[in-house]
Each structure stands twice: as structure tokens, then as C-alpha cells.
Amino acid sequence: SYTTDTKSREENKKTLENLYSLSVDITKIRRVKEWVLLQDVAYVKEIAGILQEMGADETTVANIIEHCPEAILHTPAEINSQRALWQLVCQNEKQLIKLIEQFPESFFTTEYQQNQKANILFFQELGLKNNIITRFLTSASSIFYNPVEKNKNVIETLQRNYLNLGGSEANMKIWILKLLSQNPFILLNTSTTIEENLEFLQKNDFTDQEVLQLLSKLKGFIFQLNSITMQKSILFSKNIFKCSDQELKQLVLKCPALLYYSVPVLEERLEGLLKEGISIAQIRETPMVLELTTQIVQYRIKKLSALGYDIKSGNLESLNGTKKDFEVTYGKIQSKKERPIFNPVAPLHIED
């Protein structure tokens, strides 16, 4: 706990001298986290020394401190513990220093070291590869702050429900690891949320197999939902597409976005498509187009139109998919357009 009352205090001269000696841009720190410079105790030289031991050059050290000035307020013991912890999943110190430079805040959050260690070991036991765990440490660090029992509880709930819905024991491990890799933040949910959302789908007549299918397609988003928003989204889609419960179920299975996007988001995306001259019937045929933002749809329509492709008269499949999927589709349409009508090297069959 550091004091952030800056009014009556002066910057620590020793801290400033040590930072100058490391070529750190102090104006950057003053602009963002001046309170760091006011602390009575700072470990500038020690932290720089540990980073240099790991292979960081002067520029890298300065960079790290400028981006995460509170690094210098941690004791060398805390940082060495964190270093040992991250080495459990890093190939070598070169990779570790690269990660610290890219994600200094994640590395210098040392308050949860016991939880971090227990969770790293749990994820390794579960079968997650070290490169996935390092990705979690840097981009989903909050999941490591949970006590390991909490994360185990969520995983056990997922495993139990997977088997209850008819999933096989053989596929369960792959399914869990894939789900976690796609969306580690599912661990921030409670087991109760998972149970409630699955119950909601079953009450809406989705069979066990269909719920299982949705679980895989939703990449864990289902655990960030609640029954009220899902109910509203389902009613909205039913009214827009004028379909029966059974037809709506098929649309949701095709496009789970109808379940996890809120009504305002669905409204905005529908409006964007209708403005481009696309009909409700076309959207109903290819609902996955609602997974795309209005800006992406406009950009893709513009690119296809430049090739003379009329989206209003065709189906919407060409708009779908990831950026990579779209580029492949676009390339096919482009090469089809550029292909000569006849093959100039083929022999001509002329009747005598």
C-alpha cells in the first residue's frame, strides 16, 4: 500500500538520481504515476539489476520502468519470487524478459504469488501447454488471482455438465482445454452461473445434444450471460424473423450470436444490414452475418461491390467468417472475374 497523497510531499532525490543513471524518461513517469517518485523507499538499482541479470539491456530496462514505474517499489525478494514463478512456464530467460517488456503490469503484480503458483501447477496438471499458460499470465492475469479451489470448482462444474449432457469421457479433456484456450475468463464466473444458463437452455427445449453443441460454439460466452438477456434476445429474434420456436432454435444453433448479443446490439446490426439493401429473408438464411459489426459488413460489401458482386441478389455467405475467411472468398471471386472466357492456348476446333 503506497500513499498517493502528492500535495505535501517532495520527490525522492535518490530515486530520481537512480532513474537518471538508467536513462529513464522521468517526465513520462511524472505525467502518469508521479506518486511513485514520492515514496520514501524505492529499489531502482536492485530491480534494474535483476532485469539485467535476465538479459535486459539498458533500453529495455528503461522501457519497462517507464511503462510500469511501480516496478521499483517492489522488493528484490518479491521480484525474484515472481521470476521463479514465471520460469515454471517460460522456455528461458530471453522469453521471460520479452514478456516482461510487453506486459510489465502483469509481471509486477506480486500480491497473489501463492495463488499464481497453485494455479500454474493446476493448469499444467490439467494438460494446458506452457505457451497457453504464459498467454493467460499476460493477457488474462486476473484468473490467477482466484484461489485455486475456485478455478478447480468451475472446471469440475464444466466437466460434470459436459458428461451429463452426453459428452464422452474420451473427448472431455480436449473440450475443456479448447474452451479454456478460447476464453480463459470463464474462470471468473461462478459455478451457479454455469448451472443457471444451462438450465435456461434446457427449459427452452434445447436437447442435451444441442446444448452441448452450443457450449462448444459459444466458446465459453454462455457463462457470461444471464437468463434475462438471453430471453430478451430470443424474443427479439423471434419477432424479427417471424418464426416458430422450432425454427428459432435452428437459427440459434446456426448462429449463437442471437443468444449472446443484447437486443440493442442485434438491432444496430440488423439496421446496418437493411440499410445496405439486404432483406430479412437473406439474413434469416445466413444469420451468422449478425456476428459481424456494422463497420466490417460495410467494408466487405464495398470491396465485393468493386468487383461487380451484387450482395442484394446473392446470398450472404460471401460476407461471413473471420478476416482470413473473407480474404479467401474475396480472392476466389476476384480470380473468377479476371479469368479469360476462353483459354488462349487451347486448340480451336474449326469444322472443315
pLDDT tens column, 212-231: 888 877 776 777 788 899 99
pTM above 0.85, yes or no: no
Question: In the chain, what percentage of residues exceed pLDDT 90?
Answer: 61
Q: Which residue has the cell 434446457?
A: 202
pLDDT tens string 157-166? 999 999 999 9
C-alpha torsion angle, residues 318, 324, 330, 336 (rounded to 10):
-110
Query: Given a cut of 70, is residue 304 above it in pLDDT?
Result: yes
Note the pLDDT tens digit of each residue in 253-270.
999 889 888 999 999 999
Residue 352 has pLDDT above 60, yes or no: no
Residue 343 has pLDDT above 60, yes or no: no
Distance CA 52, CA 59 (A): 11
Q: What angle (nearest 5°) sits at the alpha carbon of residue 230, between those of residues 228 and 234?
A: 120
Which pLDDT score is estimated for 341?
53
Domain boundaries, the chain: 10-110, 113-225, 239-336
| Rounded-to-integer distance, Cα 344 and Cα 69, Å | 68
Q: If you ran DSSP here, which 8-state letter would residue 195 be given?
A: H
Q: Is the pLDDT of residue 25 over 70?
A: yes
Lowest mean pLDDT among 117-126, 173-182, 220-229, 246-255: 220-229
pLDDT digits (tens, 9 = 90+) for 39-53: 999 999 999 999 999
Cell of 117: 503458483
> Which pLDDT does position 224 carry in this prediction?
73
Short-list 16, 79, 87, CA closest to 50: 79
The continuous run of DSSP H or E covering 150 comes out as helix 148-164
CATH 1.25.70.10 fits domain 113-225:
yes
